[in-house]
Structure 1
């Protein structure tokens, strides 16, 4: 195969390596100097790139958080699925996933509010072109699996249920981040109970 045919793949790898380098540099600075104190100019200087190069890839600091978090989720997805498949489909898998998510969130708490606010305001959230976290895909898989096992209702498609669950997940996260809930794990358990059982009291 010619170098010309290899060029797009090589170029994409180099771009990805540069994006990873910028995100890793930013994360180290956030951890050592504090998120609020670190400027984009500081990140560019430590990463040894022009400010224009940094802004081309990441227009704001929150985009760097997004890159770091989404990369972690992708890297842990295979192991996460393996763990979940050891449990029965339905509530046990959903609950385990939420517990793991809560444990992952605890040490990253100081970054999650700016990340979530950025994600909720991104145009890509509405037009479908934005960088996705993979959360909706995981919820869709867990819900479809539960439907196939007879655990969940099937009159609503799994992708639609996943959207409902994702926004309840964000609401639970925001309650914890803003101090309305003391324990994220407990808040996620309550949210899941509401999602699965509803709020209507039936005779």
Structure 2
């Protein structure tokens, strides 16, 4: 049913296709379709989750050709950005569905097939980076993977609102934020004044 739905989406456009059309084209009763996919967005979510799982499985072998943690992660993020760009028309519906399902808010995101594989690969990458000395061991690899996924989610939502943005760049910036933080390398005079309560001295000419 999801395959039939996507064929209709591709030929007629997502907004123009109705659940009734999908049921008729798939040769199933409307009640059957609704029992599996209560809303049209659920069909999108089902298809994209499968694509994410397949894509991550395919990338796993290619990641092994990159020697360093930074190289592997940057490769993964660029590939992920390319996939998101190809599915841009469907992403708002996909994200809307995930955010609207009550169970999703309280369930473990790692149970989703695509998300679980993404989680496993990222966790393995962070753990390998810690073992090689490229990543600090202050936080467990699982938490680092979790944090990065939420930063990437924020990057996707920003990109959807700002079409001119470069998603690959947004992903890499999110990764750099996790790895380097947002603090200035040296406290500015304004920051020192805020901490001490003293006004910064004016430079004499």
Q: When the two structures are superposed, what TM-score results if normalisation uses the length of structure 1?
A: 0.83
Would the alpha carbon gap of residues 164 and 23 (structure 1) be closer, same or farther in structure 2, given more than 3 Å must change? same
* Cα distance between partner residues in 2 of 1:121 and 1:128: 15
Are the counterparts in 2 of residues 175 and 181 from structure 1 also a CA contact under 8 Å? no
Give deviations 1:63-103, integer Å, cap 9, x for gaps. 11121112122223332011111112422111111100111
Contact 1:140 1:162 in 2 (8 A): yes
**Cα RMSD (Å) of the superposition?**
1.7
The answer to whether the aligner puts 1:79 opposite 2:58 as a matched pair is yes
- Which ranges of 4 or more aligned residues in structure 1 deviate by more than 4 Å? none
Q: 2:119 corresponds to which residue?
A: 136
C-alpha distance in 2, partners of 1:84/1:189? 16
Q: Which runs of 5+ in 2 are unaligned?
A: 187-205
Q: Aligned partners of 2:56, 2:84: CA distance in 1, in Å?
A: 15
Greater mean deviation of Cα atoms: 117-126 or 31-40: 117-126
CA distance in 2, matches of 1:77, 1:163: 16
Residue 55 of structure 1, aligned match among 28, 34, 58: 34
Mean Cα deviation higher: 93-102 or 65-74: 65-74
Once residues 195 and 131 of structure 1 are traced to their aligned partners in structure 2, the CA distance between those partners, rounded to angstroms, is 24
